[in-house]
Chains A and B, each alone.
Chain A
Amino acid sequence: MGKFLIAIALIFATLCGCSSSGCLDNGSAIPLAGFYSSTTGKEISLGNLQITGFETDSILLGAGSAAQEVYLPMRSTQTSTSWVLTYKQDGLEGVDDRITFEYESIPFFASEECGAMYNYRITKLDYTKNLIDSVVLTSDLITNADIETIRIYFRTAEEGAEQ
């Protein structure tokens, strides 16, 4: 009987360790966009790219710091969000690209720890093609999961070269 009680105690002690706590994902649904080369299809790092929201002066990503990915927060009070990508490089003055997402906002309860938020189901995707080759959605549903859901493919001069 003693061994049995010890076994029961060990089982429950083990099971106690299975409890989940804390928010392991984001506290809100923010799409993560990665930068890729259209030539190689591989991830690239950009140091001369500036990203701002359309009709704002607030800089989301400043040029001068190399980045391979960026979070692009959606406007929770609107049904579309546009981003302007400006290239700070000699010979590319005045050249920029614009990406626009249209979406449906869905109230979503994630968990007690992560809370409630909007999920965004993207219904339309538009973008210009100055230096952008294509934009690909890996999922049309943007949640608080910390995963890459947008891939931006840039036209690169040659394999492995930065813009």
Chain B
Amino acid sequence: MRCSSRLLFLLVAAIVAATAAWADDVPRRKRHITPVSNAAAQTQSINETRNDTARINAARRAASTSYMRDDGFTVYVDTITGEEWVDSTNFKKRNQMKYPLLNGLNVGVNLWDPAMRLFGQKHGLIDFAAEIDMHNRFFPTVEIGLGMADNSPSGSTYTYKSPLSVYAKIGLNYNFLFNKNPDYKFFGGVRYGFSPFSWSVDGITVNSPYWKETATTAIPSQNATAGWFELMAGLRIKLFSNISAGWMIRFHGLLHESKNAHGEPWYIPGYGARGGVLTGSFSVFYTLPLKRRISMAKIEEEIAAEQDAQ
């Protein structure tokens, strides 16, 4: 063996020896030992959660398929048992109205002022009302009337006059007995009224006892406008066929009125005489049915059927 061959042999031997020495310094990994599987360990979690319905339902839904019904609700299907159930989170609150939206149209006449004039009232004439019956609950109302005044109070030295003028009111009645027999209604309501009118005062006599003088004068026709609110409550009952009648007590107050250097008008058409906060109305109504009423029995059947479906 030549010298170079010996050297190569020694170098390889040294490398092998060094590698063996390094390998002895690295810590050896621990061996993994698989525990022995038994029946108790496998069933323990199942037994502990067997009565947890939330977990069970979640598991069932996870194993289910779903589809959307024609009415928009999602229906889940248990692929094992074939059972179906509806996603109730999308249920809308059932409409509690027992009567249709457009339940009727009522037209009426207020006989309060004509009756009061028979008992000496010096103002007012007549007014008419039209209202829409919505669910037998809400009654949007329009009232249009004519008013006038001619008043010479006893012991006074003037004559107050207001020629025939028109007024209008708009508002809403609320029937507290909306799901009851529609032949009986207990109303609360609110109105806004407005009237353009004119007034005058004739035969004004001004006495001055000290100066022993008497002057006569007049306030010529004055144009005016006024707006007011009314809060009301009352009853209405069906008399026969489509005829009903009822009364209302009305609390009212002026909201705005035109200013005048000759004073404030005593009478405002539709509002009445200034000074009083209460007035009333007695009206007779004719009902024009807009839609055939649904019978109570039919409504209850529909509710029961829907509950069964759920």
Contacts and interface: CB of A to CB of B under 8 A. Distances in A.
A75 B211 contact: yes
B51 interface: no
Interface stretch (B5-13, B18-26, B138-146, B201-209): B201-209
Contacts of A12: 233, 249, 251, 278
Summarize A's interface: helix, strand, loop or mixed: mixed
Contacts of A108: 219, 261-263
A127 B204 CA distance: 32
Interface in B192-236: 201, 204, 206-208, 210-211, 213-215, 217-219, 233
Q: Give the bracket for the number of chain A residues in contact with chain B.
A: 20 to 34
A105 to B, nearest CB: 8
B276 A28 contact: no
A53 B211 contact: yes
A8 B215 CA distance: 50
B158 interface: yes
Interface stretch (B65-73, B103-111, B149-157): B149-157
Contact of A112 (B151, B206, B207): B151
A117 B208 contact: no
A20 B275 contact: yes
Contacts of B160: 109, 112
Contacts of B153: 112, 115
Contacts of A58: 210
B278 A109 contact: no
Given A16-B278, A73-B208, A75-B211, A112 B219 contact: no
B217 A107 contact: yes
Find the residue from A28, A56, A105, A112 having the highest chain B CB count within 10 A.
A112
A118 interface: yes
A74 B276 CA distance: 33
Given A19-B275, A116-B158, A117-B204, 19 more contacts: A11-B251, A12-B249, A12-B251, A19-B276, A19-B278, A20-B275, A106-B261, A107-B204, A108-B219, A109-B160, A109-B201, A109-B262, A109-B264, A109-B265, A111-B264, A111-B274, A112-B275, A115-B153, A118-B206
